[in-house]
Every structure is written in structure tokens, then in C-alpha cells.
Amino acid sequence: MTTDAMNFSIVERLRSTGRLDRVFIDGEWVLPQGQDRASVIDPSIEESVAEIALGTAQDVNAAVAAARRAFATWSVSSVQSRALLLDRVHSLILERAEPFAQAISQEMGAAIGFARSTQVPVAAEHIRVARDNLASYPFVTRRGDMAIMREAIGVCGLITPWNWPLYQITAKVGPALAAGCTVVLKPSELSPLSALLFAEVVHDAGIPPGVFNLVSGNGPEVGAALSAHPDVDMISITGSTRAGVLVAQAAAPTVKRVAQELGGKSPNLFLPDADLSRAVPAGVAAAFRNVGQSCSAPTRMIVPRERLQEVERIALEAASSMVVGDPSSPQTTHGPVANRAQFNRVQEMIGIGIAEGARLICGGPGRPEAFHRGYYCRPTIFSAVQPQMQIAQEEIFGPVLAVIPYDSVDEAVEIANGTVYGLGAHVQGQDLGVARAVAARIRSGQVHINYPAWNPQAPFGGYKRSGNGREYGIEGLEEYLETKAILGFQDTENPSTTVQSSRIAQEQS
């Protein structure tokens, strides 16, 4: 492993050479052990814009060893010092927002306006929330003569996806570092540029060596090595349900904690009194946000049968206002999907929807007119979809919306719960009491009533095959903590003489 003694700037290295041939281990940019490289494809032109190094299992070993060494001091560092460093990370993300937005737009096709307004700012929010929750979290509580301590779980392997590349990184790294854990990050090799920029931010913020490490690579090599590593205490993965199963299987022999945020097929249930003029356009926008590449996208719109034609008309108008185009253009609202495999998946599922007999009201197979290259998909809406159709059951991960009619609210709830997933859900209705009652019946980790504002403190995670564990907010912080009970803690004659008392007093200060 060779250290690069140069002043390593991700942006400058990319501009000058088009190559990013380092991994970040123990506070240094180093050459990986292997020689494999991967091209980063701009999905708008289907051409390589950069080449990155792919790490190996040996690089994972080095990164985990660095994280293990750093854990000894980072885990007992003061709350104030960790909060200060997270504050620096937060500030640097905002200062470098434009390079982050440009990288995200190029690596996975996000419209530049969306990258600037959403992808980067909400990613920064996860760091801010972790900092703020750290400052107020009760790491020690008392129950009579017993002390309950919450301690950092240890070295954490973090595996993140390509669809929200920076957002998913900060959602894991922020609370992990706040808790006192050290981390090894494996970002998606399909959208790694923003991850490398983030590593540069961590370095420049002054996070101590070994606390944060990054090893780029693919799942079968780096992801598997990280999941199975005996010195990794926890794995947190955001990805497909298939990938989550593989990670859990690899982690099982070492009995490490596994937190999984996986697939979804989220319902958007319209109650009979829903205001369609407001709810339908917002529902289409939510389903197609990030070109439909969100695990919690509400891609099943469940509506009263007697209002189906009205829903179709409004939905068609909403989809018609979307501008699919070059992601670098400020006028574009929706760029391409992120990669060829995803493009092929979307095209396949649109074909299946047509073959199943669903009514196509807009979009359809192929690229939009005037596009002869790039992974551009037509915003597609099917109506009169039956609940058991593939397009209503399987996660498509693209701009495809299924409108499903129902005849009673009980049937609507049954349809909403009638998949193997349970990540997110929406309920629309003017009678808030009824909407709350329906929300309580839906089996998912989050339910949104009438499109509330995004809340980074709201715990996020799934029921059923959408995963386990929670991210965001206090619950996200607690995923990275172990619970220790100290019984007989209170010495009534001299309560300050024990080692445990001294340590807890120090933590509380």
C-alpha cells in the first residue's frame, strides 16, 4: 500500500487526469492492493467521465485495522469534541455544495437543479441532525441503584447505494461518528465521485486518522469482505432486498448487528374525501422524484374507483409538465436513470405492464423523442392496475406509476399492505381523524399524511422485506449504540469511589 504524498484534491485530480486511483485509509489517500479499475459512466451520454480504483479484501483488512485502532480513542472522546468535528463536516459540505452537485449530476444523472436544491442540502442535514442529537443525548441514565449506559458499538461497515449517493452516506456516517463508532465506507462503484469528495471533506474537517475510511469496490469483493470481517461489529446497508440478504448471510457467522434499509413499493392511498386537485399532482411528483429512483417512492396510487377518470386526467397533466432532458440544463426537471441496468429494468417492466393489460395513459417504452442516446425514460403512468400485477408488486426503480382503483377503504388498506415491502406510505384525506386511523393500519416504517414537509428527525426504515433497524433522528443514532446495565452502581456510603462512577461522571460532563 503506497501513500500519495501529494496534496490530493479530488476535484483537481479529476480535472487533470480523469482518474481517481486511491482509497482513503487511516487518514491517507493510498494506492489499493489490486489493479482493478472501474469507469464512471455519465448516464446522459453513456460515456466514461472518470476512472476509479477498486479496492480488495486486503484493503478492507487495512481499513478495518485502522478503524479498530482509532476506536480506542474516538469512542471515549468527549461529546463536545465530536460535535465540533461534525459541525466542521457540515460547514464544509455546504461550502462545497456546487462541486458535490456537479458530481452527483454527472455520476448518476440527477438534474442539476435537483442536485443543488435537494440531493446536497438534505445530505448536509443528516450531519447537522447528528451533531445536534449528540449534544443532547443521555448516554447515561439512572434507574434506582442501576446505571444504563449507551456505548458505541464499535467498528461499523457502511454500504451505500447509487441513487442518493451523498444523502445515504451522511445518513450513516453522521450518527455513527456521533455515537463514537469508527467506520469503513463502501460506496456504490456506480456513483463514487461524491463519496470521494466526502472523504476529502472528512479529512479537511480534521476527523482523526482511522475514524473514517473509504474503500471503493464492488459487492462480491469489498462488500462481502466487509460483511464477513470478524473485527467489524456492525454492518449498515442501503440497497436492494437481494443485496441485503447476501450481506446478512455473510455477517451471520460473526453475529454482528446488521441494519438494512432495502426495497419498497410504497402506496399512496387516497381516501374518498381527498382533494384530488392538490393530492394527485403532488403524488405524481413524489413518485417521479429523483426519476423514481427512491426506495420509498409512492409508486402505487390507490384511488376510489368512482374518481378514477378524474385522477387519470390530473395525473396526465402533471406528468406532461415534466421536462426530461440534459441534466446540466437548469430547465430540466428529470434527467436519465442512473445506469444501463436500470434503464433495461424500467423498459422491461413497462413492457410487462402493457402485456398484463394495464391501461397506459402516458409514457411507454423507449426513450423520449429526440433522444438517441442516454438512459432517458419516458414518465409512464398505468391506470386500472390490478393489485397482483407485477407492476403493482415489484420495485421498478424508475419513473413508472401504477394507479390502482378500490371500492372500499378496507380494500384500499388491504391493497396498501399487499406486498412483501413496508418502507414508506402516504395517506391523503381531508378528515384528519380518518386519515390517522388509516395510517395506523398501514404496515410500513413511515406514513405521510397529506404530504408533510421532510423531517430529518423522523426515523426511517422498513417492515417485512424492506429491512430492519432505523435511520435518521434519535433512532438512527441509537442503531450505533450498545446498551450496558451496571447493577449495584449506587454505593450509598461512598458513591464516587468506583471506576464506573468516575467514568459516567466524566461522560455526563
Task: Cite the active site residues.
Answer: 261, 295
Strand-by-strand arrangement of the 47-53 sheet: 19-20, 47-53, 37-42
Which residue in 393, 167, 412, 428 sits closest to 286, CA to CA? Answer: 428
Q: Which residues on adjacent β-strands are paired with residue 38?
A: 52
Grid coordinates representing 236 are 449498515
Q: b or e along 339-369 (b: 16 or more beta carbons within 10 Å of the residue's beta carbon)?
A: beebbebbbebbeebbeeebeebbbbbebee
Q: Where are the beta strands (DSSP E) in 386-466?
A: 400-406, 426-428, 448-449
Residue 43 dihedral angles phi and psi, to the nearest 5°? -70, -10
Structural contact between residues 240 and 263, judged by C-beta atoms closer than 8 angstroms: yes
CA separation for the pair 35, 460 (Å, rounded): 38
HSE at residue 60, side-chain half, CA atoms within 13 A, is: 27
Q: Which residues on adjacent β-strands are paired with residue 156?
A: 183, 234
Type of residue found at 265: K
Give the chain's radius of gyration (CA, Å): 24
CA distance to 75, 133, 179, 190, per residue, from 481 (Å)? 11, 13, 6, 31
Count of other CB atoms within 10 angstroms of residue 77: 14
CA distance to 105, 148, 363, 496, 504, per residue, from 493 (Å)? 64, 21, 77, 9, 18
Type of residue found at 140: V
Hey, is 223 helix, strand or coil? helix
CA distance to 78, 415, 485, per residue, from 70 (Å)? 14, 49, 25
**Would you list the DSSP string of 371-383?**
--SSS----EEEE
Which residue in 248, 263, 84, 174 sits closest to 472, CA to CA? Answer: 174
CB within 8 Å of 441: residues ≥ 6 apart: 413, 417
